[in-house]
Amino acid sequence: MTALWTSSSAAAATGGRTVGPAWRAGGIVIDSRRAGPGDLFVALPGERTDGHDHVADAGDRGAAAAMVERTEGLPARLPVLVVPDCLEALARLGAAARSRTPARVTAVTGSVGKTGTKDMLGRALGAFGEVEASSGNLNNHIGAPLSLARMSERVAFGVFELGMNHAGEISPLSRLVRPHLAIITTVGPVHIGHFPDEEAVAGAKAEIFDGVEPGGCAVLNRDNRWFGLLRDAATRRTIPRVVTFGRHADADVRLVDARCDTTGSTVTVVIDDHPLTYRLDAVGEHWAANSAGVLACVTGLGLDARRAAAAIRSVVPGRGRGAQLSVALAGGGSIRIVDEAYNASPVAMRAAFRVLAGARPGPGGRRVAVLGDMLELGSFACRMHAGLVDDLMAAGPELVFTVGPLMEALRARLPAGVSAGHAETSTGIVEDVVATVRDGDVILVKGSLGTNMSPVIAALEALAPRAEGAG
């Protein structure tokens, strides 16, 4: 096993005290259930659970050691690194990993598209060398240092997603990551309930420039209304180079065409007056826009965009983020689910509506939308829910189910005959949705994570016939 951390290097990075025999760790986890042979388990105290209560479980799963704040009650068989504060020590591990790596590091933020862009960029840079990228959406004060601490000295590129709900959260993460290049995918009214207006959201996103290394690069969406504000913010941080992407005529990576079908998207961009056409297995113009941002990052790093474009083809949306699921029906035929149950905002809702518009139901099938509340919109919530109606109806749904008190504002504006049902919770709408499904339907399910639309997805998947002998 190649050692990511040893007892001595981790102690030096954190200022901690080792107890027990020397150890070598090839990975770091904060969830004991994910611990494997040779991992360092970090026992983070939490509001609902304390990692110290799970040290024994991590050891049973093969962890090499645990980083802890106290030793009483812990299994004597497992070596430990004792630190005053596990979260602070994790940040120190991340900072030490960043200091020792020669990798070129990119930081990704934005109101939408962060995770998809991070995943595509990781795949693109993988065509040029070994990459360490944030897993999933580990993008906060815990996830960012954890992702950094997992970066070995041998990687050529690091790609880290940085997120926020409030002002002041991205700046310390950026100073920890110290990116050579920072991209803001776009700015929209996401988490706007925590801000006075959208301009303040843009200012919070611009905090990503605070940690950019001298001589670094900013990558910005030229189509976004806050482009000027973000460009000026980069200039104030003395970032010498800004690379832009989008449909705007002045974009450095100009998106000129995005043709979507049921299996993916064919995208054409122009870079330095040279057209480049490539294929994505992801469906949706927002994926095409994200891919243009990825190629802008590749360009900013001085790498070959054509080679990168070939590498990103196979990146597809994950579960909850636009994955398209085909489900056979017990009575024959099938339905297609567009699983957008992970999160929602006005920008992301409209992108999902465009995907629904481009979907082709089977013979006799329909476009169906099951929409849950968008959260963290504050006093703007009712207006923003009602404001979705025109874009929703442009997608051509025959049936719309709504979930949550905020979606009442959208439901009230739906044309007669389109509203198929409403419930305060997702579990309350499941029966109506399942009873309505028929062969050939394409069903979009989307809502904020706190609205919990996953029971709708689970119920639709359960329509598939059970295998013989299944218990």
pLDDT tens readout for residues 283-312 = 989 999 999 999 999 999 999 999 999 999
Could you tell me the pLDDT band of residue 197, with boundaries at 50, 70 and 90? very high
What percentage of residues in the chain have a pLDDT greater than 70? 99
Query: Which CATH number belongs to the domain containing residue 444 in this structure?
Result: 3.90.190.20
- The number of distinct structural domains making up the chain is 3
Query: Which helix (H) or strand (E) covers residue 271, if one does?
Result: strand 264-271
Could you tell me the pLDDT band of residue 420, with boundaries at 50, 70 and 90? very high
The partner residues of 27 in beta bridges, in order of sequence, read 39
Taking only the tens place, the pLDDT of each residue in 211-239 is: 999 999 999 999 999 999 999 999 999 99
Same domain, yes or no: 131 and 255: yes
403: how many CB neighbours lie within 10 A of its CB? Answer: 29
Q: What is the pLDDT of residue 77?
A: 87
Taking only the tens place, the pLDDT of each residue in 244-271 is: 999 999 999 999 999 988 889 999 999 9
- Could you list the residue range(s) of the whole structural domain that residue 134 is in? 101-311
Check if the beta carbon of residue 320 is closer than 8 Å to that of residue 342.
Answer: yes
Q: In this structure, is residue 94 part of a structural domain?
A: no
Same domain, yes or no: 114 and 55: no
Q: In this structure, is residue 361 part of a structural domain?
A: yes
- The DSSP code sequence of 366-403 is -EEEEEEPPPS-GGGHHHHHHTTHHHHHHT--SEEEEE
- What type of residue is 87? L
- The DSSP code sequence of 188-237 is -SSSGGGSSSHHHHHHHHGGGGGGPPTT-EEEEETTSTTHHHHHHHHHHT
Report how far residue 359's alpha carbon sits from residue 338's, in angstroms, rounded to the nearest whole number. Answer: 10
First to last CA, the chain: 40
Same domain, yes or no: 117 and 214: yes
User: Residues 268-271: contacts with CB within 8 Å, 24+ apart?
Assistant: 269/295, 271/295, 271/299, 271/305
Same domain, yes or no: 247 and 394: no
Same domain, yes or no: 191 and 72: no
Taking only the tens place, the pLDDT of each residue in 423-461 is: 999 999 999 999 999 999 999 999 999 999 999 999 999
Q: Which of 1-5, 326-330, 426-430 has the lowest mean pLDDT?
A: 1-5
Ramachandran angles phi, psi of 269, nearest 5°: -125, 165
Sheet arrangement for strand 241-246: 131-133, 157-161, 104-109, 181-184, 217-221, 241-246, 253-261, 264-271, 274-280
Report how far residue 278's alpha carbon sits from residue 273's, in angstroms, rounded to the nearest whole number. Answer: 16
Q: What is the DSSP letter of 464?
A: S
Same domain, yes or no: 197 and 279: yes
How big is the CA angle at 180 (ends 143 and 214), to the nearest 5 degrees? 125
What 3-state class would DSSP assign to 1?
coil
Largest CA distance in the chain: 72
Q: Does residue 468 surpass a pLDDT of 60?
A: no
Same domain, yes or no: 67 and 153: no
Taking only the tens place, the pLDDT of each residue in 53-64 is: 999 999 999 999
Q: In this structure, is residue 182 part of a structural domain?
A: yes
Q: What is the pLDDT of residue 76?
A: 82
Could you tell me the pLDDT band of residue 179, with boundaries at 50, 70 and 90? very high
Ramachandran angles phi, psi of 340, nearest 5°: -115, 35
Same domain, yes or no: 67 and 106: no
Q: In this structure, is residue 434 part of a structural domain?
A: yes
Query: Which CATH number belongs to the domain containing residue 115 in this structure?
Result: 3.40.1190.10
Same domain, yes or no: 223 and 351: no
What percentage of residues in the chain have a pLDDT greater than 90? 91
Domain boundary among 290, 311, 332: 311
Same domain, yes or no: 154 and 298: yes
Give the mean pLDDT of the chain. 95
Report how far residue 279's alpha carbon sits from residue 215's, in angstroms, rounded to the nearest whole number. Answer: 33
Q: In this structure, is residue 96 part of a structural domain?
A: no
Same domain, yes or no: 213 and 187: yes
Q: In this structure, is residue 171 part of a structural domain?
A: yes
Query: Which helix (H) or strand (E) covers residue 431, if one does?
Result: helix 426-436
Q: In this structure, is residue 250 part of a structural domain?
A: yes
Domain boundary among 83, 109, 137: 83
What 3-state class would DSSP assign to 259?
strand
Same domain, yes or no: 343 and 375: yes
Q: How far is CA 44 from CA 53, 251, 413, in A?
A: 10, 44, 47
Q: In this structure, is residue 92 part of a structural domain?
A: no
Q: What is the pLDDT of residue 467?
A: 61
Look-up of token digits 């706007």: 192
Query: Which CATH number belongs to the domain containing residue 74 in this structure?
Result: 3.40.1390.10
Q: Report, as an integer, the average pLDDT of 386-395.
A: 97
Could you tell me the pLDDT band of residue 1, with boundaries at 50, 70 and 90? low
Could you tell me the pLDDT band of residue 74, with boundaries at 50, 70 and 90? confident
Q: Tell me the pairing of strands 65-68 and 39-42.
A: parallel
Where are any strands of DSSP class E within 49-103?
65-68, 80-82
Q: What is the pLDDT of residue 67?
A: 98
